[in-house]
Amino acid sequence: MSEVEWNLDDIVTPLLVWYRKSARKLPWRETKNPYAIWISEIMLQQTRVETVIGYYERFLKTLPSVEALAGADEEVLLKLWEGLGYYSRVRNMQVAAREILNRFEGNFPSSYQELLSLRGIGPYTAGAIASIAFSLPHAAVDGNVLRVMSRLSRDGRDIMLQTTKQDWQHRLAEILPEDSGTFNQALMELGACICVPNGAPRCMQCPLREKCQAYRYHVIAHYPVKSQKKIRKVENINVFFMIKKGEVALRKRPDRGLLSSLWELPNSEGGNDVLEVLQAWGITEAEIIEMKSQKHIFTHIEWRMSPYFIWVKNGENSQFNWVSLEDMRENYALPTAFRKICAEGLKYMEETNEL
């Protein structure tokens, strides 16, 4: 790491002044309720702010407390999360809510270590809740913060390494002002809106421009240093939007693995003969219409999907749940990969006046 040519605590005042003037108005910034802050922080992992707002408001309206979350039916929980992806996040939240009821008598834990002990809460989330909800002196270091700090200091270390994150967490904790939560949010806001992850940073709008070593030496494009992601495994699958007497076929995925226990459209390994697959499922007569191919990217896997619209005219299969279209929309949580194909299938039904 290069020699820093300024004191780290010099960033505090200009950053707070900028934030108080320029921060986006977001619903979770209007509260000190640790439960609401926790929900927002988990939702914001891997998800854009614009997407989260509606989910956040619906979630809190339906499950406004730790007790409500702990006691929620899983189908309700997954439906509230439908489309956000990474469903283990919401399952972990429910486990943590039950831990809060059992271990903390329903009182949301206020110490960093207690927060860290809950399922699904790591150092960043614990630091965010502790500082924002309880004004405790803990840094919250996410990808936005690491990007900002690596450019400010010309830090050439890999930001994907835990040692890099831990070092910045320690160093930033040493300069936190009394309003630690606002400072943490300001630093994250700077990374999200000015020192952006994709495209050129908006340096001329940055309140820390004059202190930024990467800007001073014209090497912004060199930072942050980030190790390359592993190449995704590609899987080809056939997906079937099957309609019989106005009802659509759904089934549950296995209890373990990708998208575990979620509802899905029936599917098979790509390359298999579609007629043979349908016959193996007990469907003896059907009209088959090939739809536009789709692609869906997970963290480590890429699905290349060949979707088919299937009018089932004869045949039974007990492994599927046949549900009405309204029931599917209202009560069944489908992963985004399948929701896109459902949308295409419903569009086709509208065009053929079958809805």
The set of catalytic residues is 41
What is d(CA 77, CA 69) in angstroms, rounded to the nearest whole number? 8
What is d(CA 268, CA 188) in angstroms, rounded to the nearest whole number? 42
Residues making up the chain, counted from first to last: 355
